[in-house]
Chain A
Amino acid sequence: MAKFIKPVRVGIEGVFYSLAHVPDLVRYGSKPLREIRANSALGDELHQKLRGFNAAVAYAPHQAYIGNIAPERLSDLPKPWYDKLIEGATFQGRFGDLVEQNRFYVLLAAADQFDLVSLENGWFHDQDTQPNVRGPKLHSTTEIQALCDKGALPLYSGERLIGAFEAAHPEDASLAAEVLLENLAAKVTAAHSLRALCKQLDLDPGEIDFVFSCSEEAVGDRYNRGGGNLAKAIAEQVGCIKASGCDVKAFCAGPMYAVVQAASLVQSGVAKRVAVVAGGSLAKLGMKFESHVKKNMPVLEDVLGSFAVILSAAKPGEPCVRLDSAAFHPVGAGASPQAMAENLAEKPLAKLGMKLTDVDRYGVELHNPEITVPSGSGDVPRTNYLTLAALAVMRGQIAKAEMEDFVHTRGMLGYAPTQGHIPSAIVYLGHAVERLRAKQIRHALLIAKGSLFLGRMTQLSDGCSFLVDRNDA
């Protein structure tokens, strides 16, 4: 490293990841909802291919997600992963957990301040987890059915109708039941991750000064669609009584931008301790269910992913975000994979006096290939690693014959569910922090991309990256 560089580091106190397993909400994912409306027989096929909680827990990519399996080890495990389940797997991970559907419903009702959620009385009282915050609206099955007949979304546990989710306004499409269920699901899952992280760190949530949410949902009414600040709602839910918050939106790259902004608040002294959180994307449930059903696989997109990260001042020997490495994809850069790799990897590394081959591990778009390959969407992480390897060849840092070795030693198989912002590099932060603490790696470069063109406001793509290392200064 060049002598003149003074690293700017912000400490990573902890990271937590969670997956809420919600098979009976897959029908409300954007794709299943549209396809089942057009062909109701698909609903039965989907239902046949949903998996139970134990199978979701013992699924190797989920075990990697919550920290029980190193992602670098996934290539050694037999496939298909959905068939070769991990024996003895638990829902609690080293830095994450899986939440069972019934518990998720109870959390959903507990976080509802507008009487959107009704639960069936008998079912509710059978549940172990009953948060003592706010009692849910309880009804008989007949009353729940009547709400559904009037347009509320039915909530199921298997075949059983256990609740209903109502719209907040009869005419406002932004407050329709489908939209509010997405938004409340994001709030609940993000709050769960942040609460769990505070517990893991033995940290009073009141000690958090600011919360960024990088969830993807458009929270607001018809005059403020996407108006946002889900962050503050999440902060309130967790009990961050001294914190305010705001949302950072940048499609899948949102979490990376949010971490850079959080680190900047800490570094500038505006805040001492900042949380970055994201909830799950209900719209993306079952996005590729037709391919999975056709190939006689379980429907693998049955989980809502969430995470929480807490940043504060750098401590000696602890993992850090290198704020001076933060890089963004500029407007004028062009959207080709090469331009992305140059701007998000080569240039920021060069600024630190490093080459592509100096990075021990790259965290890229870590979508689980077992989900994407059957639908023809390819192995996304591998494509990204090959682009980095090709750039290293072009710059003479490795020989062409060493590309596979570059991919193998500096990359990994994807293990994140297709939840948009969740797989986008940030999913590797937890493992990177563990490796840095164990001195197994010196640094990891996280690179996320965002598909701005999906919003039809620009043809541009986007991206953000930063290096994480250990504060050995």
Chain B
Amino acid sequence: MLKGKKIIAIGERDGVPGPVIAECLQGAGYEVVFQATECFV
């Protein structure tokens, strides 16, 4: 589904952090062009 797409990964403090999302997607061969963790409270 994400094949060939550039990925922006936004993680969340009380959920999954950005670097974790990026690492999973990069490990699966996808291109993460930006990742960050944010706090929405």
CB neighbours of A375 from chain B (8 A): 40
Bound Cα distance from A113 to B20, whole angstroms: 48
User: Contact at A383–B37, with CB atoms within 8 Å?
Assistant: no
Which A residue's beta carbon lies closest to that of B13?
A451
CB neighbours of B19 from chain A (8 A): 335, 459
CB neighbours of A383 from chain B (8 A): 14-15
The answer to the question of A80 belonging to the interface, with a C-beta cut-off of 8 Å to chain B, is: no
The answer to the question of B8 belonging to the interface, with a C-beta cut-off of 8 Å to chain A, is: no
User: Contact at A336–B20, with CB atoms within 8 Å?
Assistant: yes
User: Contact at B41–A337, with CB atoms within 8 Å?
Assistant: no
User: Contact at B37–A378, with CB atoms within 8 Å?
Assistant: no
Nearest chain A CB to B16 CB, angstrom units: 7
The answer to the question of B2 belonging to the interface, with a C-beta cut-off of 8 Å to chain A, is: no
User: Contact at B20–A372, with CB atoms within 8 Å?
Assistant: no
Interface residues of B in 1-41 (CB under 8 A from A): 13-20, 36-41
User: Contact at A378–B36, with CB atoms within 8 Å?
Assistant: no
The answer to the question of A249 belonging to the interface, with a C-beta cut-off of 8 Å to chain B, is: no
User: Contact at B16–A378, with CB atoms within 8 Å?
Assistant: no
Which B residue's beta carbon lies closest to that of A371?
B41
Which B residue's beta carbon lies closest to that of A379?
B14
User: Contact at B14–A380, with CB atoms within 8 Å?
Assistant: yes
CB neighbours of B18 from chain A (8 A): 459
Chain A 345-379 per-residue mask, 1 if CB under 8 angstroms from chain B, else 0:
00000000000000000000101000010011110
Query: Contacts A380-B41, A383-B15, A423-B41 hold; do A335 and B36 have CB atoms under 8 A apart?
Result: no
CB neighbours of B16 from chain A (8 A): 336-337
User: Contact at A337–B37, with CB atoms within 8 Å?
Assistant: no
User: Contact at A335–B40, with CB atoms within 8 Å?
Assistant: no
CB neighbours of A252 from chain B (8 A): 39
Bound Cα distance from A336 to B41, whole angstroms: 18
Partner of B41, one of A377, A453, A461: A377
Partner of B17, one of A336, A380, A384: A336
CB neighbours of B15 from chain A (8 A): 337, 378, 383
The answer to the question of A418 belonging to the interface, with a C-beta cut-off of 8 Å to chain B, is: yes
CB neighbours of A454 from chain B (8 A): 38-39
Query: Contacts A365-B41, A377-B40, A423-B41 hold; do A335 and B20 have CB atoms under 8 A apart?
Result: yes
User: Contact at B39–A451, with CB atoms within 8 Å?
Assistant: yes
CB neighbours of A449 from chain B (8 A): 13-14
Bound Cα distance from A185 to B19, whole angstroms: 36
Bound Cα distance from A252 to B13, whole angstroms: 12
Partner of A365, one of B14, B37, B38: B14
User: Contact at B14–A384, with CB atoms within 8 Å?
Assistant: yes
- Name the residue in B13, B15, B41 with the highest tally of chain A Cβ atoms < 10 Å from its Cβ: B41
Q: Which residues of B contact A (CB under 8 A)?
A: 13-20, 36-41
Q: Which residues of A contact B (CB under 8 A)?
A: 252, 335-337, 365, 367, 372, 375-378, 380, 383-384, 418, 420, 423, 449, 451, 453-454, 459, 461
The contact sample of 14 A-B pairs, CB cut-off 8 A, is: A335-B17, A335-B19, A335-B37, A337-B14, A337-B15, A365-B14, A367-B41, A377-B40, A380-B14, A383-B14, A383-B15, A449-B13, A451-B37, A451-B38
